[in-house]
Amino acid sequence: MSVLPFDDRDGVIWYDGVLVPWREAKLHVLSHGLHYASCVFEGERAYGGRIFKSAEHSERFLNSAQVLGFKIPYSAAEIDAAKRQLLEAQGFDDAYVRPVAWRGSEMMGVSAQQTRIHVAIAVWQWPAYFSPESRTKGIRLTISKWRRPAPDTAPVHAKAAGLYMICTMSKHSAEAEGYADALMLDWRGQIAEATGANIFLAQNGELHTPTPDCFLDGITRRTVIDLARRRGIKVIERALMPEELGRTDEVFITGTAAEVTPVGEIGPYSFKVGAITRAMMEDYEKLVRAPADAAAAE
């Protein structure tokens, strides 16, 4: 299978305030963000030329940096404008949007208070995160051996690059075994999330989702909760144990990349792609592709 490398593409990337040719958007090998994970990012999608919940993502971007102890040198409004400028320059209607900020190479060591904070934004065309057939059959998950850390051991509410190391390890292991992704438990053994998406369980006509006390409270997650409640579906945020999967009717995951993706299997447990899952998929698709005026009213 031929893969187009991300460092060898046409187009431009917004880099520290200016558009630069895609292949020239580089950083030094001794950048602090590479060695010590002093890096935060966002994942967003544009539909029909409009970035879904762009302002909310930009605010989270700034907040994540603040949690890691550095300040992004642009306001949320400036970042929003840069994303729009870049999307137009690339000429994409539907696209994935990736802002990223990191400490530069002025200092090397654990302490790097005087490093410059760099910001870049890239957009590219990225269709479904999982295979198209997953929308009808659901994806298969295994259960990862890696667990989400306790909130007093990591900046769990920041979208920080370092937190994704165990996600990559979990997903690689799952794919090697023929699964699409992995379910991650938390340090207590409770259900947390997939490697890059939040999770919902449908039980007796209600939706249950883990309390986001040690992982990211996703923007797509909150959107789906709102959509479900508009339909009169009760949504309960609580601690969920793995054994509850045995009495669960439907499972789906949510995230910017995954959107709303049904789950057909987790380890020994199987689920149907039922009415609640299909409703959330349809409602989310309708919302993200709503005309700008309708979306602004959300």
Tens of pLDDT along the chain (298 residues)? 457 899 999 999 999 999 999 999 999 999 999 999 999 999 999 999 999 999 999 999 999 999 999 999 999 999 999 999 999 999 999 999 999 999 999 999 999 999 999 999 999 998 878 877 788 899 999 999 999 999 999 999 999 999 999 999 999 999 999 999 999 999 999 999 999 999 999 999 999 999 999 999 999 999 999 999 999 999 999 999 999 999 999 999 999 999 999 999 999 999 999 999 999 999 999 999 998 655 554 5
pTM of the model: 0.94
Separation between Cα atoms, residue 149 and residue 88, nearest integer Å: 39
Which H or E run includes 55? helix 54-67
> Which residues are part of the catalytic machinery?
159
281 contact partners, CB below 8 Å, separation of at least 6: 135, 252, 259, 260, 262
Separation between Cα atoms, residue 259 and residue 221, nearest integer Å: 9
Separation between Cα atoms, residue 65 and residue 87, nearest integer Å: 23
Ramachandran angles phi, psi of 11, nearest 5° = 110, -160
CATH 3.30.470.10 maps onto the chain at: 12-124
Instruction: State the Cα angle at 50 between 82 and 58, rounded to 5°.
Output: 45
Separation between Cα atoms, residue 208 and residue 238, nearest integer Å: 7
Is the CATH number of domain 12-124 3.30.830.10? no
Give the domain 134-288 fold. Answer: D-amino Acid Aminotransferase; Chain A, domain 2 (3.20.10)
CATH 3.20.10.10 maps onto the chain at: 134-288
Separation between Cα atoms, residue 68 and residue 150, nearest integer Å: 16
Separation between Cα atoms, residue 46 and residue 131, nearest integer Å: 20
